[in-house]
Structure 1
Amino acid sequence: MRYEQIEIYLRNYYPNLWKNLLSLHHTYKNLISQKIAENCHSYSLDEVAEHIVEFIDSMPNDIVNGFGLMSLSYDEIREKQRITGKRLTRKSNLLRRNFRRYINVRPEDDLFQQQFDTDKQDSEKSYIIIPDSKNEDSGLSAHDIKQFNQRKKYAVNHSIAEHVDDFAINFLQYEGLFLSLTLESEFHNCSYETAKNEISKRWKKIKRILKNKDILLLGMSVLELQKDETPHYHIQLYVSSEHREYVESVILQQFPNEQDRRNEAIKDIWQAFNLISYALKDSNKSDTYINFIGLQRDIKARYNAVYHNEKYKDLSDKRISISHKLMMKKQPNGMILLLIRGFSDERLNLLSARHKDFHYLKTHIQKIQIMYLHCIHFGEFKNLIDNEFSVSMKLRTYKIINEFGDIYNYVPCWVYNNQECMLDNFYYWECEKSRGQPPPSGEGKGLIRPTQGNSIRHFSRLAQKSHIERTRCGISKKSDINLKLQNYCESENLGRPARTENLAGFISINTSRKTTIYRFSYS
């Protein structure tokens, strides 16, 4: 049934209501008439008209008062914005969304909204901002620049999320959770503002409860729309294994409707790259909100400034320079977040400072990673395991930086590759004899030369993520370091070393009795 069939009846018996509907677009008038006729199962004009009157009277006042604004075309909106000086496009879209939610209509069935979006896109394409030097009618349009900015924002969000995953998994040894949080059915028919405020309030309460318990959370939250335009969360969350059970209980307490679908609402993260891409698939939409958990509020501006090698607030030139070089490698690296002071917890930011906070340094692996972070940042080596400092190591530190610039990922790769109960894997080393030595060539000159096809154990996830193929100068299989080390262990009655490391003159010996870092001098 169409609105024209009952318009005369409404004008005669309900003139005030008829005047309110005059400003509403005929597309929405017909939608109301069709919905009412389907619900009341009647084709009587009088009965349908009376139900329409009851339906309009039950509508929220803000929707009824916005009939005129939501019915304006894009060209009419632009003209009104020019006169009033107010931005009305977003408000008109919000009115149409609440109207669709109230009458239970999907966006794909709203022909007026589709035409509005098409007209807006055509207008942006026709507006040339940077004209072509050869042809003034062509060049970069407003639509092209908008697409470019959206791709840039997507790249920044994706990179930060990857760095968070690398830091949480490879440094803190946290577990990754992927949350899909939705609201109860009663919030699917209310206004968009009410549903958004409700789900945001619940998530903020979860973070507040866990913060009061001193539980560190890292990750990314994405608030987007479901098919019926109800907001819901996709959250990439990292928590420690000891706190995971409690965190899940707090989440399910605030979202009791997820109890029945707990396995779908809370999942483990196995492949972070694909998960991040899925969470950011609608990031170009105006109603998608992306925030990072456990990071500074200005993390996006901070990261973008360092990426373009620009000064930013409290960051020194050295921090910006090192972070910029690491960003240019286009690889996930949690050390970047430490160098740009990107964490909201200052105890994490202090890990990249001269005076460290050892609250999050629980294992020797973490201390080794921070040791080499300080080598790269400050140009000095400090043994955090034995709490010793050697001034003579400073000159040799630059050699470490030059040869192992990505030591943040390289150290855990070595530690995990050289564990007990692992398959044997042989590495070849060469100590530079003189400064003028020519670079090696041919086979066997790489830093890592495994005896098998794949040098990374398939059951070592950290080693898989950290391994980087390298071909560096001055390294081959001619060194007798392993023989010297074996003789030293036998003379000291230490037994056969379980694993060895030679990092430009440093030897790490791990035996059943003790773990020590030695420095060998070469004649």
Structure 2
Amino acid sequence: MDYEKIEQYIYEINSSTYDILNALTPFYRYKLYQKIKENSRLNEDCSPEILADGIVNTLSHMKKDVLDSFELASHSYKELLQVQRITKTRLTRKANRYRINLRRILGLSRDDDEVQSSFDNDKKARYQKIKFNGYSVQDSIEKKIKNNRSRDWSISQCLNESSKILGMKQTYGESGWFMTLTLPAKFRNMSFEQCNDEINRRINMIKKYTERLGILWTAIYAVELHKDETPHIHIIYYVNDYNSMNEAGYGWERVKTDRDKLLDIVFRFFDNENDARQNDNFTIENNQEIYSFDKCLGYLFKDYGKPNVRHGFIGLRRDIKNVWNALYGGDIENSCLSYLSNRKLFLSITLMYMQDIDDYLYGYPAFTLFAISGFKSGKINELANRNIDLDDTQFSMYQHELQKMRNYVNPPRQKSDKKYKKVRKTFIKSGYVLVFGNVYLYINTKIVFDYQCEKSKGQPPPSGEGKGLFI
């Protein structure tokens, strides 16, 4: 294919189209010519003039936002840095998404994209050159991804164990269910942003409808990309599937479980999966019972840290990742931990470091989310409260395991036990607070000026009380 002749004819037919195409890097430009030739079903020996006319005609029907993205998508990493310095805006993520949309138009995979590969390599090489205390920026990025994966893996393990003692599982000793949800075929011709927004919209609607019906469920999910970079979602979910029966007439009628209701809602918003749901192979391929949780979770985390792949949780508190980071890293003064008492704080940190097989046998990881009130639902979080009668909850069938959790999360208080008071000691080794020359005995607080307690878990000292006790 003589590209110079083709572009010469394009210039003669329509100079503005030539200028638009000239913004594209040659790799994308020539791939676009080949794609238009295939779609037009032209022969290999067709004249350049006919192909040029087809190219001009095709670009005239393209959306303006796609044509405007050509220049930014074609920038190398060094060129993009210069543009960022001039505009004082971050454009890396935007450029990457523009390239995704171009690849979807051209039918390219990310591995076959020479422009993207060159961009990623240049970016990585630059980050490797920038070093602080012997560590490069690239080392820091890779370490952060590794730490985040370990954190999400740990949360997932605790969620799996917690769901078991709540009865949100298949049968005794087993885990939840695995499901893959995809968008309809029409979204393969839409932009990456549209597909991503649609995935988020449908998941949010599922959460909204289940909340309206009072369905308690939790999940671990991963949004990944197909080969054509259309997003899809993998979910490990937990929900009550107890078969309750109601007497109806002369027989018994099976009432829908929470899992049945949940699946009805899911396939209402992912209606393209309904046909597969009716097939005999559906329970094996699309809605699989989990018998090896670690292997299933490993499949869910196989692309962790890759571009445009994200992992998250459903049914847990919104800031669960921040809470976990602060507890595991020992950042006990972090504002996201303000809701935890000293006893719960100490207990949560102890539970997080339990990773032996014996600890799992005793069920300790299942208690972690209860200790930090890590669930979104107050009905589940309150199960750790001794004042709640388990007989009055929907989890009354699982009192044995829940009572075991309660006893561990709420150990009896001992007057001689001071370890909980040592968790948040902030004023050297004492618990004194200075307020304008007056000294107060006030354990586990920051220094207070003008009676404003900064970064403190408790209340400031009461005004006027305690004067003259130490001076």
TM-score normalized with structure 2 length: 0.75
CA distance in 1, matches of 2:28, 2:2: 10
- 1:44 and 2:69 are equivalent in the alignment: no
Match of residue 114 from structure 1:
117
For residues 110-149 of structure 1, what are the structure 2 equivalents within 5 Å? 110-130=113-133, 139-149=134-144
Amino acid corresponding to residue 350 of structure 2 in structure 1: K
Between 232-241 and 163-172, the greater mean CA deviation after superposition? 163-172
**Superposed CA RMSD:** 1.9
| Secondary structure in structure 2 of the residue aligned to 1:270 | coil
Q: How far 1:323 moved relative to its partner?
A: 1.4
- 1:57 and 2:60 are equivalent in the alignment: yes
Query: Is the CA contact 1:102–1:190 (under 8 Å) kept in the aligned structure 2?
Result: no
TM-score normalized with structure 1 length: 0.68
**1:176-219 Cα deviation digits (max 9, x unpaired):** 11110001111111101111122222222222222111110111
| Secondary structure in structure 1 of the residue aligned to 2:396 | coil
| Secondary structure in structure 2 of the residue aligned to 1:250 | helix
Decide whether aligned partners of structure 1 residues 373 and 240 sit closer, same or farther in structure 2, where only a CA change above 3 A counts. closer
For residues 261-340 of structure 1, what are the structure 2 equivalents within 5 Å? 261-262=276-277, 263=282, 264-311=285-332, 312-330=337-355, 333-340=365-372
CA distance in 1, matches of 2:379, 2:352: 23
Match of residue 454 from structure 2:
none
Gaps of 5+ in 1: 131-138, 381-393, 399-523
Match of residue 133 from structure 1:
none
| Secondary structure in structure 2 of the residue aligned to 1:235 | strand
Amino acid corresponding to residue 268 of structure 2 in structure 1: Q
| Secondary structure in structure 2 of the residue aligned to 1:219 | strand
Query: Is the CA contact 1:224–1:233 (under 8 Å) kept in the aligned structure 2?
Result: yes
Match of residue 19 from structure 1:
19
Pairing partner for 2:93 from 90, 94, 97: 90
**Is the radius of gyration larger for structure 1 or structure 2?**
1
Q: How far 1:103 moved relative to its partner?
A: 2.7
CA distance in 2, matches of 1:97, 1:29: 15
Amino acid corresponding to residue 293 of structure 1 in structure 2: I
Match of residue 251 from structure 1:
266
**1:384-440 Cα deviation digits (max 9, x unpaired):** xxxxxxxxxx78xx9xxxxxxxxxxxxxxxxxxxxxxxxxxxxxxxxxxxxxxxxxx
For residues 414-493 of structure 1, what are the structure 2 equivalents within 5 Å? none
Query: Is the CA contact 1:318–1:377 (under 8 Å) kept in the aligned structure 2?
Result: no
| Secondary structure in structure 2 of the residue aligned to 1:334 | helix
Larger relative CO (CA 8 A, sep 6+): 1 or 2? Answer: 2
CA distance in 1, matches of 2:75, 2:191: 21
Query: Is the CA contact 1:104–1:189 (under 8 Å) kept in the aligned structure 2?
Result: no
Decide whether aligned partners of structure 1 residues 111 and 357 sit closer, same or farther in structure 2, where only a CA change above 3 A counts. farther
Match of residue 77 from structure 2:
74
Query: Is the CA contact 1:102–1:191 (under 8 Å) kept in the aligned structure 2?
Result: no
Q: How far 1:250 moved relative to its partner?
A: 2.2
| Secondary structure in structure 2 of the residue aligned to 1:261 | helix
| Secondary structure in structure 2 of the residue aligned to 1:267 | strand
Match of residue 362 from structure 1:
396
CA distance in 1, matches of 2:117, 2:76: 11
Amino acid corresponding to residue 158 of structure 1 in structure 2: W
**1:307-346 Cα deviation digits (max 9, x unpaired):** 1233312011211211111111226612100001100101
Match of residue 157 from structure 2:
162
| Secondary structure in structure 2 of the residue aligned to 1:6 | helix
Match of residue 102 from structure 1:
105
CA distance in 2, matches of 1:208, 1:251: 11
Query: Is the CA contact 2:328–2:349 (under 8 Å) kept in the aligned structure 1?
Result: yes
Query: Is the CA contact 1:125–1:142 (under 8 Å) kept in the aligned structure 2?
Result: yes
Query: Is the CA contact 2:36–2:55 (under 8 Å) kept in the aligned structure 1?
Result: yes
Pairing partner for 1:172 from 152, 155, 167: 167
- 1:376 and 2:377 are equivalent in the alignment: no
Gaps of 5+ in 2: 171-175, 242-256, 418-471
**1:95-130 Cα deviation digits (max 9, x unpaired):** 111111123222222211111111111111121122
Match of residue 453 from structure 2:
none
Decide whether aligned partners of structure 1 residues 116 and 368 sit closer, same or farther in structure 2, where only a CA change above 3 A counts. same
Decide whether aligned partners of structure 1 residues 173 and 230 sit closer, same or farther in structure 2, where only a CA change above 3 A counts. closer
- 1:343 and 2:375 are equivalent in the alignment: yes
CA distance in 2, matches of 1:170, 1:2: 69
CA distance in 2, matches of 1:41, 1:233: 38
| Secondary structure in structure 1 of the residue aligned to 2:405 | helix
For residues 171-190 of structure 1, what are the structure 2 equivalents within 5 Å? 171-175=166-170, 176-190=176-190
Query: Is the CA contact 1:309–1:320 (under 8 Å) kept in the aligned structure 2?
Result: no
Query: Is the CA contact 2:218–2:315 (under 8 Å) kept in the aligned structure 1?
Result: yes
| Secondary structure in structure 1 of the residue aligned to 2:105 | helix
How many residue pairs were aligned?
373
CA distance in 1, matches of 2:42, 2:100: 26
Amino acid corresponding to residue 143 of structure 2 in structure 1: F
Amino acid corresponding to residue 270 of structure 2 in structure 1: F
Match of residue 249 from structure 2:
none
Amino acid corresponding to residue 83 of structure 2 in structure 1: K
**1:155-179 Cα deviation digits (max 9, x unpaired):** 1111111111111123324231111
Match of residue 434 from structure 1:
none
